[in-house]
Amino acid sequence: MNSLERAGFIFVGDVPTPRLEEVANTAVKFGPKVKEYVARARPRGGILFLVPSNEEKFQSWSMESAGDYDGFTMSSGSGTPWIVLSPNLWVDAPEPNWRDAVIVHEMVHAYTDPPRSVEPWVLEGFAEMAMQDLTGDWWPPTEFPQKVFLPTDEQFSGDGEAAYFLAGDFYVYLSEVHGMEKVNSFHTKALSVSPESVFKEAFGITLDEAVKAWQKDYAERLPQMEQDSAA
């Protein structure tokens, strides 16, 4: 087992030290940006990163399947959160930048430290938007969804590519139409109460009204997104 520590982050794994150093470089590079991006970032210190060498170890450390997740964040209450990274990131990743994107996504969860009762689209959509904004990369799905909806908990499991994309696209739409200040206000409040109950206060329209407007906007953007993705 190898380990190292940088900038308050701890990295542990049964992998070669260069792999830990790669993860450390990404965490140190993006850590301050993620903490600033998350409006209610917990005033804690670092994060523990676990980097297993195989899927069995990933499941042992995260209690989840590496086939379902590229990374998984676990909270320890008031203590240090930890992130488990799938070994598949070094096997199946489309390109190295994808590993950076996954680490940023999981760090958003770690700094947000949400309760388990929060609706998944609230959490995953914000993390996907942050991943896109902070890395500057756009990761389109293999196939763009033709039907647009806010994903349920079950739709994020297994092959949840479409669910993550749609949740992120909804947040990006909200930020472009209403601005990040309102998005942050909504996201912060929706971590402790139902999103429906605070949506109108943040954006001036109901969640249902926003979803209908987003669906119309998405339909107009879809041909261009498909063209850009194929280029």
Express each pLDDT in 127-158 by its tens digit.
999 999 999 887 888 889 998 999 988 888 76
In the sheet with 9-13, reading across from the earlier edge strand, the strands are 2-6, 9-13, 48-50, 82-85, 71-74
Is the same domain home to 93 and 152? Answer: no
Answer with the one of 113, 135, 162 that is the final residue of a domain: 113
Is the same domain home to 137 and 188? Answer: yes
Q: What average pLDDT does this structure show over 21-35?
A: 95
pTM of the entire predicted model: 0.92
Is the same domain home to 84 and 144? Answer: no
Answer with the one of 90, 113, 136 that is the final residue of a domain: 113
pLDDT the model gives residue 84:
96
Classify 228 as helix, strand or coil: helix
Is the same domain home to 82 and 169? Answer: no
Is the same domain home to 65 and 39? Answer: yes
> What percent of the chain clears pLDDT 70, i.e. is strictly above it?
92
Is the same domain home to 2 and 107? Answer: yes
pLDDT the model gives residue 208:
97
Q: How confident is the model at residue 231 (pLDDT cuts 50, 70, 90)?
A: low
Is the same domain home to 163 and 184? Answer: yes
pLDDT the model gives residue 91:
85
Q: What average pLDDT does this structure show over 40-56?
A: 82
Is the same domain home to 200 and 124? Answer: yes
Decide if 165 contacts 157 (C-beta within 8 A).
no
Is the same domain home to 132 and 177? Answer: yes
Is the same domain home to 175 and 202? Answer: yes
pLDDT the model gives residue 78:
61
Structure tokens at 162: 């479409």
What's the CATH number where 11 sits? Answer: 3.30.2010.30
With a CB cutoff of 8 Å and minimum separation 6, the contacts of 9 are 24, 27, 28, 31, 46, 47, 48, 49
Dump pLDDT digits (tens) for 65-124: 766 788 999 876 667 889 999 999 998 766 768 999 999 999 999 998 877 788 999 999
Domain extent at residue 81: 1-113
Number of domains in the chain: 2
Is the same domain home to 31 and 125? Answer: no
Is the same domain home to 24 and 60? Answer: yes
Answer with the one of 113, 146, 164 that is the final residue of a domain: 113
Kindly tell me if the per-residue pLDDT of 43 is higher than 60. no
